[in-house]
Amino acid sequence: MSERITIRPAVSSDVDVIASMWDEASRALAQRGIDQWQYPASVEKISRDVGRGTAYIVHDFGVNMGTITVDESADSEFWPPEDMPADALYAHRVIVLPVARGRSVGASMLDWASRKAQRAGKSWLRVDTWRTNAQLGHYYQRQGFTHVRTVEHRRSGALYQRPAGVISGTGPACVGLEA
């Protein structure tokens, strides 16, 4: 893999590609005994995000590495008014394919999203993770996120945030689309 990876907006022909990434991630999680995402990808949600211009594909020389959706959609059960949900961007469906694991592609996507949040005048980049996926929570903490709280009545209720503009710098640079 090169020192740079390319990120681009997903287009309608990528909907099935993103759904396949989800399915691949789901299988990999199940093999590790993690119950996250053990249901089919929502092609409707993916299509909506692609149509809104909030879903992105990351690739290196034409080889898909992963996907990320970044938007202003705060789940009100997770981020109530006192959290100032409009002051953040939210990363959803962050998926790194096996071909890219161990290469810090996830860190690169999060750094890109963090710069995007900063340029949008937001204070935070936020994520929610599966409550039972402790490994993922630890990963986000290593990427500079702070655990805010866990919402117990939802499967994906472990909430994390890091200040917009914070960059880990551990992965290859994301180029091709300014954050």
Tell me the C-alpha distance between 100 and 25, whole Å: 12
- Give all domains of the chain, ordered by start, each with its CATH number: 4-171 (3.40.630.30)
Question: What's the longest Cα–Cα distance across the chain?
Answer: 44
User: Residues 92-120: what's their mean pLDDT?
Assistant: 93
pLDDT one-digit tens code per residue, 118-176: 999 999 999 999 888 899 999 999 999 999 999 988 878 899 999 999 998 888 888 87
Q: What is the pLDDT of residues 31-73, one digit of tens each?
A: 888 878 778 889 999 999 999 999 999 999 889 999 999 999 9
Say yes or no to pLDDT of 1 above 50.
no
Specify burial of residue 89 (Cβ count, 10 A radius: 0-12, 13-18, 19+): buried
Q: With a cut of 80, say whether residue 21 has pLDDT above it.
A: yes
Residue 111 has pLDDT above 70, yes or no: yes
Beta-sheet strand order (sheet of 4-9): 146-150, 158-163, 124-129, 88-96, 63-71, 55-60, 4-9, 173-175
